[in-house]
């Protein structure tokens, strides 16, 4: 029997992604934070009334992307709030570390889990000490760097796994999900492209300064 918590968690990624999409569009035309919130809510409502096959667009998206991991949920919520208030998180060290970690972890997990490698890395989440030891190392580093959002997200994920609070009995499902992985990749693609553009602009401006 599905509980209210399960119902909400299964749809939380879809809610936050649709909200971010609407708020981001409002931000592009420089609307106020309050209007960005309204645009985000309107995107959710619009998806709920647009049919796809026998379901609404919202339910289709929710079933396609599934339930988020704890770090994924925290990252989605953080990006949603940043979109509304207009804050750029790409220069935040904790955000950079979190997104890089998710991107790298996804490249370690998903190729093996989907059969592209001979070794199934997903099996590490069922037993053994490799994945727990890696999480402990990440927690120690995050505490040292005072990345408290990362520490809190991983602590909740580990506690949820130990208490069997979710449907899965695999530790991986509590610490990463495909949406979080794609957000991590997207963030670092943006950062790398921005760095290339800035370097190109700097190299173009140097001859002009030399000639003057």
3-state helix, strand and coil shares in percent for the chain, rounded to the nearest 5: 75, 0, 20
pLDDT (tens digit per residue) in 62-108:
999 999 999 999 999 999 999 999 998 888 999 999 999 999 999 99
**pLDDT: is 124 or 204 the higher one?**
124
Q: How far apart are CA 114 and CA 63, in angstroms?
A: 19
The tokens for 154 are 């991983």
Tell whether the model's pLDDT for residue 211 goes beyond 80.
no
Q: What is the pLDDT of residue 210?
A: 54
- State the average pLDDT over residues 154-169: 94
Tell whether the model's pLDDT for residue 209 goes beyond 60.
no
Residue carrying structure tokens 């890395």: 121
Q: What is the pLDDT of residue 102?
A: 97
Find out whether 68 and 76 touch, Cβ atoms under 8 Å.
Answer: yes
Q: How far apart are CA 57 and CA 59, in angstroms?
A: 6
Round the CA-based radius of gyration of the chain to a whole number and report it: 20
Tell whether the model's pLDDT for residue 202 goes beyond 90.
no
pLDDT (tens digit per residue) in 27-63:
999 999 999 999 999 999 999 999 998 899 999 999 9
Closest CA to 16 of 51, 36, 40: 40
């Amino acid at each position: 029997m599905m509980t209210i918590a399960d119902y909400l968690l299964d749809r939380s990624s879809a809610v936050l992604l649709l909200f971010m999409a609407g708020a981001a569009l409002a931000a592009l035309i420089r609307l106020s934070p309050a209007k960005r919130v309204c645009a985000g809510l309107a995107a959710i409502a619009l998806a709920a009334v647009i049919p796809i096959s026998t379901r609404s667009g919202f339910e289709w998206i929710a079933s396609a992307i599934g339930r988020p991991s704890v770090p994924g949920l925290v990252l989605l919520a953080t990006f949603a709030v940043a979109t509304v208030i207009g804050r750029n998180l790409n220069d935040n060290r904790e955000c950079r570390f979190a997104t890089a970690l998710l991107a790298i972890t996804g490249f370690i997990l998903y190729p093996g889990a989907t059969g592209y490698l001979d070794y199934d890395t997903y099996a590490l989440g069922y037993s053994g000490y490799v994945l727990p030891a890696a999480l402990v190392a990440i927690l120690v580093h995050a505490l040292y760097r005072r990345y408290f959002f990362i520490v809190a997200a991983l602590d909740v994920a580990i506690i949820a796994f130990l208490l069997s609070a979710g449907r899965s009995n695999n530790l991986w499902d509590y610490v990463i999900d495909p949406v979080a992985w794609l957000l991590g990749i997207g963030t670092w693609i943006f950062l790398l492209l921005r760095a290339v553009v800035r370097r190109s602009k700097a190299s173009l401006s140097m001859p002009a300064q030399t000639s003057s």
